[in-house]
């Protein structure tokens, strides 16, 4: 019996989503390039989206899928504002990493 014959259970999706979220957290903690840190936030949001869709199917409730749509929109808004802040900061200090912008004072 090959592994392909085994049916996929929802917990497989949840485990994958946990792994993906952990990779995102790891990247956010380890990397210092603000752009890559933003991408890691996207990874975490996608892991959560996967969880939402899995539970939506498991419970037969479309609220999970609706939540994914809202998370997607918030992620888009977050990226737009975050990258705008990044562009305006890096315009003043080229090559800044996350540690160089640790104080809020101008």
Name which of residues 82 to 101 contact other proteins (CB under 8 A): 83-88, 90, 94-95, 97, 99
Q: Does 30 bind other proteins (CB under 8 A)?
A: yes
Q: Does 41 bind other proteins (CB under 8 A)?
A: no
Residue with tokens 């996929």: 8
Q: Does 16 bind other proteins (CB under 8 A)?
A: yes
Interface size with other proteins, residues (CB under 8 A): 74
Cβ pair 92, 51 in contact under 8 A: no
Minimum separation from the CB atom of position 31 to other proteins (A): 6
Q: Does 26 bind other proteins (CB under 8 A)?
A: yes
Q: What angle do CA 103, 105, 34 make, to 5 degrees?
A: 45
Distance of CA 49 to the CA centre of its chain: 9
Cβ pair 37, 99 in contact under 8 A: no
């Amino acid at each position: 019996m090959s592994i392909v014959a085994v049916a996929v259970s929802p917990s497989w999706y949840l485990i994958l989503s946990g792994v993906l979220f952990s990779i995102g957290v790891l990247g956010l903690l380890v990397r210092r390039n603000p752009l890559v840190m933003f991408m890691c936030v996207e990874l975490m949001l996608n892991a959560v989206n996967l969880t939402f869709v899995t539970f939506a199917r498991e419970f037969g409730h479309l609220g999970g899928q609706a939540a994914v749509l809202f998370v997607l929109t918030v992620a888009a808004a977050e990226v737009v504002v975050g990258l705008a802040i990044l562009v305006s900061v890096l315009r003043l200090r080229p090559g800044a990493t996350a540690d160089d912008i640790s104080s809020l004072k101008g």
